[in-house]
Amino acid sequence: MIYADYNGSAPVCNDVKEYLKQRLDEGPYANPNAIHFMGQKVLMGMDNARSVCAKFLGAKFSQVIFNSGATEGCSQIHHSVLGCGAKDEKNLIVTTGIEHSAIRKTAEWYAENRGYEIITIPTNPNGIIDLTEFEKVIKDKHQNIALVSIMAANNETGVIEPFKEVSKLCQEYGVTNFCDTTQYIGKMPFNFNETGMDYAIMSGHKIGALTGTGILLAKDKTTLKPLIIGGGQEKGLRGGTQNYIGNETLAVAMDSVSKFFDRIPELTKKREEFEQKVKEKYPSAVILGEGAPRLATSTYIALPGVHGQAVQIELESMGIFVTTSSACSDNEPVTSKVLKAMGVTDDVGRGVVRISVGLCSPVEVYDKIYEALIKAYDKLSQIKSY
């Protein structure tokens, strides 16, 4: 079996499994907010995890807020920055057409319900946002921008966006900047305070920690309002007894993943060889985001005329799990919003499959995926499915 949907959710990593076995066996268990010895011991463990996470993320201890994951973090940021509703002088949200729906839909909710207007920065055909256009927008309209929300790495294409430049421009013009770093963190080294961004988010299940865990990073915590009020946990910013064991797994997973960063060049090379081999065999195959800087572990590939879902099912029958990342109904396959924003035609958009492995994956998985993919294409291209 080959699991190649790490961008969807990574398996719990081995170090976390080992940690949990011992942790669950030995305890301690208590409410980290209790003042008795056991509670304080749990709190110390969780705060130790917070220190490890802060170091890994290039943030200060006090900038790390534990939560349930990226979607919650995104909601809290929007609630904090936009919750009061559009003011005459600050009524714009600047975002892109390639954001994850958790981010895009939140922005749309604030536009529909709180009077904001969305400016969508266009995306180039290679998946990179149009930085020149962004620069123009920020120069012309910075006084009216309430929030810039541009992601670090795309979940479908794996394309790495110029988020450092975006952040620099936001700082220069004094505009609040939220970056969706969910796919970037754990796949590339990241330093929150070096980028200068105001807010970032991540989900534990994308990096091998337990699902239902995550972190919101805030440059200045006093700008945040709680989404969940509760009993004042996380310094009043996220109510509810903390998921302390889950939060500990974040630290273990971050420690674990940092050991694999030096594999990025090797994985990138192998990924490129894999893509070239497929293109040699099938010259009409398309690699989405080809030529743009991409995460080492992601490939988004289409063979026009061969339906992505059919490829997915064929691969699954050979024990390989990938996704299409495009919503499809029986005869009306739909090109994803991300691909539409890149100007990708339905001919390509209907054919995509996303192959995403982990930084810990052996390079040989690409050889096995290649064999299976070619078998699937050989079989399916005999019948043109659309």
Determine the residue type at 192.
F
Given the complex with ligand PLP, which of 233 and 325 has the nearer CB atom?
325
State the nearest-atom distance from the C-beta of 180 to ligand PLP, in Å: 5
- Residue listed under structure tokens 């440059």: 219
Given the complex with ligand PLP, which of 96 and 233 has the nearer CB atom?
96
State the nearest-atom distance from the C-beta of 355 to ligand PLP, in Å: 15
State the nearest-atom distance from the C-beta of 385 to ligand PLP, in Å: 27
State the nearest-atom distance from the C-beta of 154 to ligand PLP, in Å: 7
Given the complex with ligand PLP, which of 28 and 97 has the nearer CB atom?
97
What is the gyration radius of the CA atoms in the chain, in angstroms?
Answer: 22
State the nearest-atom distance from the C-beta of 70 to ligand PLP, in Å: 4
Given the complex with ligand PLP, which of 104 and 271 has the nearer CB atom?
104
- HEC string for the chain: CEECECCCCCCCCHHHHHHHHHHHHHCCCCCCCCCCHHHHHHHHHHHHHHHHHHHHHCCCHHHEEEECCHHHHHHHHHHHHHCCCCECCECEEEEECCCCHHHHHHHHHHHHHHCCEEEEECECCCCCECHHHHHHHHHHHHHHEEEEECCCECCCCCEECCHHHHHHHHHHHCCCEEECCCCCECCECCCHHHHCCCEEEEEHHHCCCCCCCEEEEECCHHHCCCCCCCCCHHHHCCCCCCCHHHHHHHHHHHHHHHCCHHHHHHHHHHHHHHHHHHHHHCCCCEECCCCCCECCCEEEEECCCCCHHHHHHHHHHCCEECECCCCECCCCECCCHHHHHCCCCHHHHCCCEEEECCCCCCCCHHHHHHHHHHHHHHHHCCCCCC
Given the complex with ligand PLP, which of 11 and 28 has the nearer CB atom?
11
State the nearest-atom distance from the C-beta of 77 to ligand PLP, in Å: 12
State the nearest-atom distance from the C-beta of 381 to ligand PLP, in Å: 30
Where do contacts with ligand PLP occur on this chain (CB under 6 A)?
69-71, 100, 102, 151, 155, 180, 182-183, 203, 205
Given the complex with ligand PLP, which of 155 and 177 has the nearer CB atom?
155
Given the complex with ligand PLP, which of 80 and 203 has the nearer CB atom?
203
Given the complex with ligand PLP, which of 214 and 226 has the nearer CB atom?
214
- Both tokens of 294, joined, read 């991409």
- CA–CA dist 237, 225 (Å, integer): 6
